[in-house]
Amino acid sequence: MRGATWKQLAAEGASVWLDGSVRPPAGPGGAAPGGPGRAPAPRSAEELVAGGWVTGLVLGPEALTDSVGSPSQRALLRDLASLEVTPQGAVRRLSAHRAREACDLLGRVYEETGGLDGYVSVDLPVWSPADPAVLLAEARTLWWLVDRPNLLVRIPATEAGLAAIVGCLADGIGVDVAPLVTVESYRRVLDAFDDGLERARAAGRRLDRIAALTSFAVRKVDTEVDARLAALPGTNSAALRGRTGPALARVVYRLREEHLDRARWRSLAAAGARPHRLAWLACGTPPEQPAGSGGRYLGALLAEGVVHVLPADLLAGLEEEVPLFGDMLSGRFVSAQRDLEGLVAAGVPLAEVTDELGVRYPADFARAWSRLLAATTAGLRPAEG
């Protein structure tokens, strides 16, 4: 049964999704975390979903790499090796296999919420990240292989990615755009959403069955900004630490509200389109605070309809009884702008930080896919001896 924090989040219309591993680590001595007098935290995907702890999953290349050694995946790799499937082809099938299992696990949540929740977001491979036609083909292939309505295809907000997003939505394929770190990229994504949904409407598709999500790496931005603030000599930067992520989230939330008030969106909504949701990646704990303080940062990003995406360690360490104070994003645009301006005054322009992350993220992502491809290639080889 969920703790108080989860009940408050549900009351505010927010969701918690699990990022990556589906088995949170146990506490000291093998006991599940939670503390005296608290129900132990669930320790399997089935328990996490059945207990209402999470209502969505994100499967990236790291989670897929971790699963390659499981008995079911090893058996699948043996069959694929017999069919002389290439490593890239095997990765596609393994990804689809894991995604379909996860979609089935969350199918009841998807049905009970009328398609508002219960999604599984799966990254696309990066074999040709600059070619929109290849990205769209990969997205369509994953959609066909998984064949579940609660799948979201995860696509980066690059130029090629934006074109693929439009194509996916036009085809009725749900998308998760990630990871975003700038307001400017979010504006481009909003235009892509409208373009894709307008094409879907022109094709006669049911817009109420097309889901869209945008995922912001707010904690990563905070981590990078705070490291730079700490390195500045002779400045009193303590008051600015841990504030950049929430400020960025509040600016983005304001843009979302403005977008939903435009005539273009109102026309799509009248045809059945649902507003896209905002997700905050790894938002459990501010970088300068200890692990037990996770709920306070989560509360700073709370508003109706948002998704909090947590890895297993943050999910397991989140306090169950942390006071949440309702919507902390709406009506806070002015104070958010003031916080961001304070960074510039302190000598840390946010654009420099996000530009660096924009270079680092694709490189990190490519390395993660390389590790998955290497593990899959090894699994396709016949056992020695």
pLDDT tens profile 13-71: 889 999 875 543 333 333 444 444 444 454 577 788 888 889 999 999 998 998 888 88
Summarised one tens digit per residue, pLDDT across range 93-149 is 999 999 999 999 999 999 999 999 999 999 998 877 789 999 999 999 999 999 999
Summarised one tens digit per residue, pLDDT across range 231-241 is 887 666 777 88
Q: How far is residue 302's CA from residue 35's CA, in Å, rounded to a whole number? A: 25
SS3 content of the chain, % helix, strand, coil (to 5): 55, 10, 35
Which residue from 330, 349, 279 is spatially nearest to 117, judged by alpha carbons? 279
- What average pLDDT does the structure give for the chain? 85
Q: What is the pTM of this model?
A: 0.90
Predicted pLDDT of residue 238: 75
Q: How far is residue 111's CA from residue 109's CA, in Å, rounded to a whole number? A: 5
Q: How many CB atoms lie within 10 A of CB 2?
A: 17
Crossing angle (nearest 10°) for helices 263-270 and 183-202: 40
- Cα 88 to the chain's mean position, in Å? 24
Question: Hey, what are 244's tokens?
Answer: 């950049």
Which residue from 134, 125, 205 is spatially nearest to 173, judged by alpha carbons? 205
pLDDT bucket at 317, cuts 50 / 70 / 90: low
Predicted pLDDT of residue 323: 63
Q: Does residue 179 have a cis peptide bond before it, meaning omega lies within 30 degrees of 0?
A: yes
Could you give the C-alpha distances from 211 to 53, 70, 166, in angstroms and in order?
Answer: 22, 31, 13
- Cα 260 to the chain's mean position, in Å? 21
Summarised one tens digit per residue, pLDDT across range 351-382 is 989 998 988 888 888 899 999 999 999 999 87
pLDDT bucket at 74, cuts 50 / 70 / 90: confident
Predicted pLDDT of residue 369: 92
Residues 56/17, Cβ–Cβ less than 8 Å? yes
